[in-house]
Chain A
Amino acid sequence: MRSKPVQLAIAGVLFVGVGVLVAVFTLALALLGEPDDNVTALTAGKLVIALFALLTLITTLGISLVWLERKQLGRMQGRVGPTRVGPFGLLQVVADGIKLLMKEDVSPSSSSKAIFYVAPLLVFVPSFVVWLTIPLSEDLVVRSLDLGVFFFIAVSVLSIVGLILAGWSSNSKYAILGGFRSAAQLVSYEIPLILGVLSVVMVADSMRFTDVVNAQATVPYIALLPLAFVVFFISGLAEVGRTPFDIYFAESEVVGGPFVEYSGAHWAIFFLAEYVNTFVVAALGALLFLGGWVWPFGDLGQVPSVAIFLGKTYFLAVVIFWVRATLPRLRIDQLMNVGWRLLIPLGFASVILIAVQRFYGWPTWTLTLMSLAALVVAAWVQMRMQRKDAVATAQRYAQRAVEVQPSRRRPGPESQQA
């Protein structure tokens, strides 16, 4: 074990290194496509300001989600939620944030300090960097990248590394179990998520978010690709660890998972990242499937396009919280079954259906029919499988009840005779 100053020095170097790396990478990506002459200190400065504005914006949006969730869960469970701080309890989250920042930042004495303090950064930074290319409206975007959708997928994967490192560096068994669970869950659900997004990209013929949205001017893709939307939405829930997929920080099993040893500001970073990620999934659902800032049913007049987009996003967020209030948590083997046996085949089915439709040039409405048919077949197969499983389990338990009972009795005179 090294002495404390050395460890802190390593932590500092790693911290600064990761920060510089992120800054370089972000700037490089953001400046991409500009001719060298245009890339001056001025444009870079503008970009930095834009990024700070974006950071403030998404932090506020994330915090608004916390309030929304508490209020909504309260109402759905017959409570009223926060009411004390500010009107309708709006400032409760701010008060909580101040409390968290003022708390002592404790770390386990046997933890690996350097990684312990870098891990929250590795979780939060990707969830922030993806906003670089997510447009709030036609013009309101930091950089409209040609590969925008792919950029989101590639960058968001990095947060898994942060989670697994947070679990490992805490040197606690619950934390490392949570870390492993998060890695297994997020890597598994990355595949259906990508397949769902890929379906949209195939139909829209572009990876640029603005193109994808503008292609939905008449019909939002949720009408064309219900199958892809189901796959995307469920795996999106799993990606951000919302109930029923909050396996890796399940309080009753791993008492908070990778975050169990974190406190104060570092825990707050994880918490914020979780809500920002929830907002990202809702925003992506709105952009890719609900038509973003486009309103297909007639002219809305003076409503700004940002409001339409945010309205759709908050609608999806409400659905996410609704699911949370309704469904119990899955068991970990059920989680894996849903991912590998249900969502991945469905995702591939969606991609293949679209490929066939596009290759033969069938009219687009056939996509809706084929998607719905696939969904119905999948639901039927799933119900049959669950029925079979349930029957088998019931039979096994019945049999065991007959067999196990005698051996469970205390050894008495009769059993000695036998």
Chain B
Amino acid sequence: MGLALFYAAAFLTLLASFGVVATRNIVHAALFLLAALAGVAGLFVLLYAEFLALVQLLIYGGAIIIVILFALMLTRSGEYEGETETRRRPFAAVAAALLFGLMTAVFVADAEQFNTNTRQAIPFRTLAEDLFAAWAVPFEIASLVLLVALIGAVVIGRAGREEDETLPEDDEPDDAEGPVRRGSRRRAERRRRGV
């Protein structure tokens, strides 16, 4: 039964991954990616890595796919229509084949190292102790990287906001405002100065 489930999940992952690269519609591709990632989560479950599976679902299925969809829908996908029709296709195929061969070779060569007989569930508590005690420093470094990325995103976002000043001024006073927006406050000030 476990084996059947494994093949079902693996088949689904592969099929969906193929769908990601085969489809022309970019939103379909995102949906296929979601299916592939969920399939990987299923594989994690079958390896008794329950926590990892749920994290996979939460982070990739929840957060990353949503961000991807957001980005796709806010950009005009029509502009990139012929983008895949390049002469570089053969090189890409070769690179992909090389990578696949390398990974297969590594797995086959080190086959003895992998424990293929027994699956073992790791208690959640042990995982937490490892993560926050034994590997606390790498964990903190990772969170630092995320924090830097977060601050960077805010800085870039705010830098774009400064350009509001160059926007043409609207004559009508905008009613229905939320909390004071910086742009409108500046506009009000300029109006007061009579510019």
Contacts and interface: CB of A to CB of B under 8 A. Distances in A.
A214 B167 CA distance: 61
B180 A393 contact: yes
B35 interface: yes
Interface stretch (A61-69, A89-97, A358-366, A398-406): A398-406
A117 to B, nearest CB: 12
Interface stretch (B40-48, B103-111, B158-166): B40-48
B55 A25 contact: no
B58 A392 contact: no
A336 B111 CA distance: 52
Contacts of A146: 50, 123-124
Contacts of B39: 21
Interface size range on B against A: 35 or more
Interface stretch (A151-159, A272-280, A318-326): A151-159
A389 B180 contact: yes
Nearest to B24: A2
Contacts of B63: 157, 187
B54 A147 contact: yes
A21 B38 contact: yes
**Which of A21, A31, A44, A179 has its CB near the most chain B CB atoms (within 10 A)?**
A21
A20 B12 contact: yes
Given A36-B2, A40-B1, A331 B178 contact: yes
A32 B50 contact: yes
A183 interface: yes
A29 B45 contact: yes
**Interface-centre pick from A20, A25, A150, A153 (highest chain B CB count, 10 A):** A25
B28 interface: yes
Interface in B142-193: 171, 173, 177-180, 188, 191-192
B60 to A, nearest CB: 10
A379 interface: no
Main SS class of interface, B: helix
A151 B54 contact: yes
B28 A114 contact: yes
Interface in A29-76: 29, 31-33, 36, 39-41, 44
A375 to B, nearest CB: 23
Contact of A165 (B31, B35, B50): B31
B62 A25 contact: no
A337 B178 CA distance: 10
Contact of A154 (B35, B57, B65, B192): B57
A154 B62 contact: yes
Given A32-B45, A32-B50, A146-B50, 8 more contacts: A14-B28, A27-B5, A29-B53, A151-B54, A154-B54, A168-B69, A337-B179, A407-B171
Interface of B: 1-2, 5, 8-9, 12, 15-16, 25, 27-28, 31, 34-35, 38-39, 41-42, 45-46, 48, 50-51, 53-55, 57-58, 61-63, 65-66, 69-70, 73, 121, 123-124, 171, 173, 177-180, 188, 191-192
Interface of A: 10, 14, 17-18, 20-21, 24-25, 27-29, 31-33, 36, 39-41, 44, 112, 114-115, 118, 145-147, 150-151, 153-155, 157-158, 160-161, 164-165, 168-169, 176, 179-180, 183, 187, 190, 207, 331, 333-334, 337, 389, 392-393, 396, 399-400, 403-404, 407
